Amino acid sequence: MTKNTDLQGRRGVDILHEPLLNKGTSFTEAERDALGLRGLLPPKVTTQAQQVERTLGNVRRKATDLDRYTYLISLQERNSALFYRVVMDNLNEMMPIIYTPTVGLACQKYALIFRRPQGLFISSQDRGRIKEILRNWPRPDIRMIVVTDGERILGLGDLGSCGMGIPVGKLSLYTACAGIPPSQCLPVMLDVGTNNQALRDDPLYIGLAQERLRGPAYDELVDEFVNSVQEVFPKACIQFEDFGNTNAFRLLHKYRDTVCTFNDDIQGTAGVTLAGLYGTLRLTGGKLTDKKFLFLGAGEAGVGICDLIVTGLMAEGLSQAEARERCWLVDSKGLVVKSRTDLAEHKLPYAHDHAPMPDLRAAVEALKPTALIGVSGMPQTFTEHVVRAMGRLNERPVIFALSNPTSKAECTAEQAYTWTDGRAIFASGSPFPPFTLNGGTHLTGQGNNSYIFPGVGLGVIASESMHVTDEMFFVAAKTLATMVKEEDLAAGSVYPDLQRIREVSATIATAVAEVVFTRKLTKMPRPQDIAAHVQAQMYQPEYDEYVKP
């Protein structure tokens, strides 16, 4: 497909300053003459492959991952195609730098490393003019928007406007992992203030140094944003990202049936986790209905995963009530049970009749779960006693420590394998290196949402779906699970090799588009070959030829 915008009359430095057009030293002699670039570049014409070689050398010479992140983001701001060529050809190396875990540190330092806007900042002071602000964005055909208000950035909490690194990084993965053209992506920060006092006191903080907006004023701002998107970018899907628990559930329920939107923290995390659980069945045997799931963390991720597991269990014949009884939650005050009077509304479906349990350790011993899933953002909460108990109760204990970044993981891969004598089936949200125990090497599976949301987004865009449904995430999870090879499982991973992510995303997108056309969620005519149609939408980071030799 067409990769970049056309020149639109641009010449000279205007071309070099537009990352979607800039080729750097790869502009040909003919292009330099015709486009007014002569003298603005060194005289040698280089290939993209040579540029990649130089870029990789520069990245690898950096002293820290934050330095590598800053260098790569600067490249993205200069030369979009080269950035994506480097990332796509070296995903296993680059993804931990441009996204988790490094993006968490980048957000913490965002005020110091901010150089050039890569998206839109819309603040609570912009009420009444959000449409005007959206129209300031120079690219009119926006199909995917990732928006955050910065309240719950990864496991790091309220980072206010510094959370803009998350939408920027997320959309980079939409392009790198699923081929959604960067010209169709828009990161948005809704700056409604921050309750992080350290940020408010920091004179270098880039956001509104005021307490977070709450109540009707907050809802009116979000409502104006959502409605403005419908007018300015009518084909755009809105992904809500890293909102606080109360707003995340509320906004998803409010908008999901009226606009094209989803919440990756709730639905994407659920999809990748369910896919991993299907993968574990190939190692443990049995069916999903045989298993019991215990979660540490009862927020967006935990409840979202439970909801999708329930969908999977009901597909295998259980009633909704029976399915929910397989899912148990532990929050900061202990086991979620019916007798508690302090439960938020989103936890109530998983509040069961059971004696109160003060903590995770007691809950494991009492419930005897087959899978332990951490989505708490609390590091080292899968203690040695808890993990050893899981190993005592299960021949192959399933332990998913999914909190991001790595510093927030409930336990490390080394701990999970060591404390279970290598029997654990382990997955984490951020990557851990391979671990060798008793002569065997365990390749840790990364239960990263990037296996799910890019493919779902591509399917939604390719089919011009009017809505995003839970069925799409269930289908995405089932599809992802089928793409795990025997050699992945043998190495200890319940997910495919990350380097196959574009193949995975295209397959998921095809399955999602099939749902869209079957459910009549689009006005687009059904393509004769959906898979070919999806493939035709996928961006390739190759340079356009602006002038024929």
Is residue 19 in some structural domain? no
pLDDT of residue 155: 83
pLDDT of residue 116: 84
What kind and span of H or E run contains 261?
strand 261-263
444: CB partners within 8 A, 6+ apart: 413, 426, 427, 428, 431, 432, 433, 434, 435, 492, 493
pLDDT single digits (tens) 359-400 = 999 999 999 999 999 999 999 999 999 999 999 999 999 999
Is residue 402 in some structural domain? yes
As given in the structure block, the two tokens for residue 430 are: 């951020």
Is residue 68 in some structural domain? yes
Tell me whether residue 170 is one of the annotated catalytic residues: yes
Pairing of strands 435-437, 440-442: antiparallel
The percent of residues above 90 in pLDDT, for the chain, comes to 91
Same domain for 288 and 227?
A: no
Query: Burial code of 238-257, b = ≥16 C-beta within 10 A, e = fewer?
Result: bbbbbbbbebbbbbbebbbe
Question: Last residue of some domain: 259, 289, 304?
Answer: 259
CATH number at residue 59: 3.40.50.10380
Is residue 90 in some structural domain? yes
- What is the amino acid identity at position 364? V
DSSP string covering 176-228: HHH---GGGEEEEEEE-----HHHHH-TT--S--SPPP-HHHHHHHHHHHHHH
Torsion on CA atoms 90, 95, 101, 102, rounded to nearest 10: 80
Same domain for 425 and 283?
A: yes
Same domain for 299 and 252?
A: no
Same domain for 321 and 248?
A: no
Same domain for 212 and 337?
A: no
pLDDT single digits (tens) 36-89 = 999 999 999 999 999 999 999 999 999 999 999 999 999 999 999 999 999 999
Same domain for 357 and 323?
A: yes
Average of pLDDT values for 102-116?
Answer: 91
CATH number at residue 274: 3.40.50.720
pLDDT of residue 5: 54
Tell me whether residue 99 is one of the annotated catalytic residues: yes
3 pLDDT above the threshold of 70 = no
Is residue 95 in some structural domain? yes
Residue with tokens 């350790």: 361
Question: Last residue of some domain: 231, 259, 287?
Answer: 259
Please say whether the beta carbons of 143 and 171 come within 8 A.
no
pLDDT of residue 548: 78
pLDDT of residue 440: 85
4 pLDDT above the threshold of 80 = no
Range of 429's domain?
266-549
Is residue 141 in some structural domain? yes
In total, how many domains does the chain have?
A: 2
Average of pLDDT values for 219-235?
Answer: 98
pLDDT of residue 2: 41
pLDDT single digits (tens) 194-213 = 999 999 999 999 999 999 99
Active-site residue, selected from the candidate residues 170, 291, 347, 408: 170
Instruction: Look over the chain and give the mean of its residue pLDDT values, rounded to a whole number.
Output: 95
172: CB partners within 8 A, 6+ apart: 76, 87, 98, 99
pLDDT of residue 117: 82
Please say whether the beta carbons of 444 and 416 come within 8 A.
no
Same domain for 245 and 340?
A: no
Same domain for 470 and 538?
A: yes
Residues forming beta bridges with residue 147, ordered by sequence position? 188, 240
Is residue 411 in some structural domain? yes
549 pLDDT above the threshold of 80 = no
Same domain for 466 and 403?
A: yes
Same domain for 418 and 301?
A: yes
Question: Last residue of some domain: 232, 259, 286?
Answer: 259
pLDDT single digits (tens) 471-511 = 999 999 999 999 999 999 998 899 999 999 999 999 999 99
Same domain for 464 and 532?
A: yes
Average of pLDDT values for 170-197?
Answer: 97
pLDDT of residue 132: 98
pLDDT band at 154 (very low <50, low <70, confident <90, very high): confident
Active-site residue, selected from the candidate residues 69, 84, 99, 174: 99
Residue of 183, 174, 79, 82 lying closest to 138 (CA atoms)? 183
How far is C-alpha 332 from the chain's CA centre?
Answer: 25
128 pLDDT above the threshold of 70 = yes
Same domain for 541 and 522?
A: yes
39: CB partners within 8 A, 6+ apart: none
Residue with tokens 């049936």: 257
Residue of 447, 454, 449 lying closest to 237 (CA atoms)? 454
- Burial degree of 470 (CB within 10 A; 0-12, 13-18, 19+): middle
Is residue 192 in some structural domain? yes
Please say whether the beta carbons of 297 and 322 come within 8 A.
no
